[in-house]
Chain A
């Protein structure tokens, strides 16, 4: 370990670039054909929306390699600090790494500067990290996360979506991304209302993931047999709390019971 390098600023990702360039291999020389030969796990559906106390972020747990299941219990929703979260979709390797670096980045800034970044500053930093990933994205290793958190200065939940070039768009209600993102969005559009209670928020999050899993074969949804449940993080003024597995199981069973009775199926 080297002690003291050339970098003098307060960003961790820049520190890595300046003083530890060997940590980030140059993937731009890998051709599209090479990349196709590699089978790389992809994460699928994540979503975020506002509710009365802040913002909810949720994601299923499935990762796929082509038509194959790569992992049934991958984590796609990460707390980046006490009041912000990132949800990842796309190439799992670089996406998880980005979430990890973002977490260190926010903590690093806070320690060096003595105070945390503003929520908007955090969202902007993620935008730069996605832009840096553009050469890899051009090789097919696309990372398109969602970022959400509770803004302690404005007393409100806020959320952002990104495009592959690092474009950053703040959303006022809800957003979903990944292979099942379209179906989750459609589901949220029907169920979303401003000022939802926490219980209702968890319910529509699970319903949206269930709808996405129904239409998109790469999305996991709720796996009751294996006991694998989506991660639903609720971020409010008091911090981040994930919905418990038993709460999600109950909500899911209610949804399925309602759908069975609506279609006249008795079980």
Chain B
């Protein structure tokens, strides 16, 4: 058997992409929805290891794929945001700059390293009605190869992203109340996990960026609060 001496760059990239996609598809998906009072981030997650985290006053993070990799990226994001807010002002910490930095970092690894990162990330920023020019929400998705996109209304990351995207595109309406957004998110996650009926609140990780909360707008919902939200 002879060793191949030359592998085309296209082939290398395609192999890496396939490897990363497979890794991501093994994990669960995560759904983010804008609702009337902010942004809701949801993930199917029965463990105590978080997939969703607070980055800064108005910015949150969600990751899917390999936990060790996206959790490391989350921590890098917190350090980046805190240093930025400390050296400039708290209002200068924005999701777009962070998502771009993620995109650069993940894209760099994809091109230059043997093993690509098996992660997909979402950076969300809730608007603030008291800051002129910062009133709108923003949602960015960063993929394993560094490609970045912005989203309005909702965004899904993870293996089932495409399927869930078309489901949400038909079901989602802008400005829905919190409870409805939560139920819609749960339905989407259920579809992703082979239609498992009635995903229990214990198996869900749900966080909010609340537009009207003063100061740090991130809030993690407890299982009891979730039950109340679902009306169970």
Contact = CB atoms under 8 A, between A and B. Distances in A.
A3 B82 contact: no
A12 B87 contact: no
A20 B86 CA distance: 12
Contacts of B84: 1
A112 B50 CA distance: 11
A108 B78 CA distance: 7
Interface in A100-130: 100-101, 104, 107-108, 111-112, 114
A3 B78 contact: no
Interface in B72-91: 75-76, 78-80, 82-87
B104 interface: yes
A3 B105 contact: yes
Contact of A12 (B53, B54, B82, B216): B82
A193 B169 CA distance: 64
Contacts of A1: 80, 83-84, 97, 101
B55 interface: yes
A251 B82 CA distance: 40
B105 A111 contact: no
B79 A104 contact: no
Contacts of A3: 76, 80, 101, 104-105
Contacts of A114: 50, 53
A46 B85 CA distance: 28
A4 B53 contact: no
Contacts of B97: 1
Given A4-B105, A104-B86, A111-B53, A15 B79 contact: yes
A243 to B, nearest CB: 19
A141 to B, nearest CB: 20
Contacts of B104: 3
Contacts of A16: 83, 86
Contacts of A101: 86
A16 B54 CA distance: 20
A23 B97 CA distance: 21
Given A12-B82, A23-B87, A107-B82, A112 B105 contact: no
Given A111-B53, A111-B54, A114-B50, A7 B87 contact: no
A89 B85 CA distance: 25
B82 A108 contact: yes
A7 B83 CA distance: 13
Given A111-B55, A114-B50, A7 B85 contact: no
Nearest to A101: B86
A251 B83 CA distance: 42
Contacts of B105: 3-4
A135 B61 CA distance: 39
Contacts of B82: 12, 15, 104, 107-108, 111
Given A104-B85, A104-B86, A111-B54, A4 B76 contact: yes
Contact of A112 (B78, B85, B86, B216): B78
B182 to A, nearest CB: 22
Contacts of A7: 79
Contacts of A23: 87
30 contacts: A1-B80, A1-B84, A1-B101, A3-B76, A3-B80, A3-B101, A3-B104, A3-B105, A4-B76, A4-B79, A4-B105, A7-B79, A12-B82, A12-B86, A15-B82, A15-B83, A16-B83, A20-B83, A100-B86, A101-B86, A104-B82, A104-B85, A104-B86, A111-B54, A111-B82, A112-B75, A112-B78, A112-B79, A114-B50, A114-B53
Given A4-B105, A111-B55, 20 more contacts: A1-B84, A1-B97, A1-B101, A3-B104, A4-B79, A15-B79, A15-B83, A16-B86, A20-B83, A20-B87, A104-B85, A104-B86, A107-B82, A107-B216, A108-B78, A108-B79, A108-B82, A112-B75, A114-B50, A114-B53
